[in-house]
């Protein structure tokens, strides 16, 4: 019986779980949170030991489009250099899912649009970073201790 208990404890230590209220997909946990600017969203995610979501594959993109039916900030910005979109983890943009005619930096009519949202249908759009939206946080699953 003691050997079985030790084996069970060992397997639980290796099992990865998401915090309460978060949704698991592959090796990450996700939560839709808050409402505010892109910077406020990023800070909130960091406070949760996470960051704004980095979409690195079509399967993750499909998953995220089912996670929310509202527009939400994702971890994509061209704040540093206009037209050079980067993820919050520093990686360059490879997969794209831009809405038709996007990104357009406001088309000359609006304030500079340097932050990306995932729209309610899953496509991406650039917006002013001060726009108030929900955001999607992503964190690598933590191990049970």
Question: What per-residue confidence (pLDDT) applies to 138?
Answer: 98
pLDDT digits (tens, 9 = 90+) for 70-113: 999 999 999 999 999 999 999 999 989 999 988 988 766 666 89
CATH code that applies to domain 17-143 = 3.10.100.10
For position 104, what pLDDT does the model report? 87
What b-and-e string marks burial along 104-126, b requiring 16 or more CB atoms within 10 Å of the CB? ebeeeeeeebbbbbbbeebbbbb
| Interacting residues of 40 by C-beta distance below 8 A, sequence separation 6+ | 34
pLDDT at residue number 112: 86
Where in the chain are the domains?
17-143
Nearest to 74 by CA among 58, 92, 87, 83: 87
């Amino acid at each position: 019986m003691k050997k079985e208990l030790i084996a069970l404890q060992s397997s639980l230590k290796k099992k990865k779980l998401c915090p309460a209220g978060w949704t698991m997909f592959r090796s990450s946990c996700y939560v839709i949170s808050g409402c505010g600017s892109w910077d406020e969203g990023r800070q909130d995610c960091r406070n949760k030991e996470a960051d704004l979501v980095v979409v690195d594959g079509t399967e993750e993109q499909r998953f995220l489009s089912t996670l929310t039916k509202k527009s939400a900030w994702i971890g994509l910005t061209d704040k540093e250099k206009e037209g050079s979109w980067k993820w919050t983890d520093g990686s360059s943009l490879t997969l794209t899912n831009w809405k038709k005619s996007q990104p357009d930096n406001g088309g000359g009519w609006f304030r500079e649009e340097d932050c990306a949202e995932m729209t309610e249908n899953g496509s991406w759009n650039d917006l002013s970073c001060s726009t108030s939206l929900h955001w999607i946080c992503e964190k690598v699953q933590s191990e049970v201790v």
